[in-house]
Amino acid sequence: MRICVIPGDGIGPEVIGAAVRVLCALAPDALITEAEAGWGAFERHGVALPAATLAAARAADAILFGAVASPSHPVSGYRSPVVQLRRDLDLYANIRPVSAISLERPVDLVIVRENTEDLYIGRERLEDDGATAIAERLITRRASARIARAAFDLARRRAADLGRPARVTVVHKANVLRVSDGLFRETVLAAARDYPDVAVEEMLVDVAAMRLAQMPERFDVLVTTNMFGDILSDVACIHGGGLGLVASANMGDAQALFEPVHGAAPDIAGQGTANPLAAITCVAMLLEWLDLRLPAARLRAAIAGVLRDGPYTPDLGGAANTFEVTESVLARLYTNFT
137 in Cβ contact with 177 (< 8 Å): yes
Q: How far is the CB of 82 from ligand NAI (least distance, A)?
A: 5
What are the DSSP calls for 198-244, one per residue? EEEEEEEHHHHHHHHHH-GGG-SEEEE-HHHHHHHHHHHHGGGTSTT
Residue of 117, 230, 259, 315 interacting with Mg ion (CB under 5 A): 230
Task: Select the binding partner of residue 230 from Mg ion, ligand NAI, none (C-beta < 5 to 8 A, by kind).
Answer: Mg ion
At 331, the amino acid letter reads A
Cis peptide before 295 (omega within 30 of 0): no
CA dihedral (227, 232, 235, 241) positive or negative: negative
- 164 exposure class (CB count in 10 Å sphere: 0-12, 13-18, 19+): exposed
The verdict on 9 binding Mg ion (CB under 5 A) reads no
Furthest-apart CA atoms within the chain: distance in Å: 69
The verdict on 118 binding Mg ion (CB under 5 A) reads no
The verdict on 332 binding ligand NAI (CB under 6 A) reads no
User: Restricting to residues 66-85, which ones interact with ligand NAI according to CB under 6 A?
Assistant: 67-70, 82
The yes-or-no answer on residue 230 being catalytic is yes
The verdict on 15 binding ligand NAI (CB under 6 A) reads yes
- With respect to ligand NAI, which residue has the nearer C-beta, 216 or 263? 263
The verdict on 41 binding ligand NAI (CB under 6 A) reads no
Residue of 216, 229, 244, 295 interacting with ligand NAI (CB under 6 A): 244
- With respect to ligand NAI, which residue has the nearer C-beta, 86 or 185? 86
239 in Cβ contact with 105 (< 8 Å): yes
User: Restricting to residues 289-318, which ones interact with ligand NAI according to CB under 6 A?
Assistant: 313, 315
Backbone angles phi, psi at 4, to 5 degrees: -95, 125
Task: Out of 9, 92, 118, 173, pick the active-site residue.
Answer: 173
- With respect to ligand NAI, which residue has the nearer C-beta, 40 or 295? 40
Residues annotated as catalytic are 120, 173, 206, 230, 234
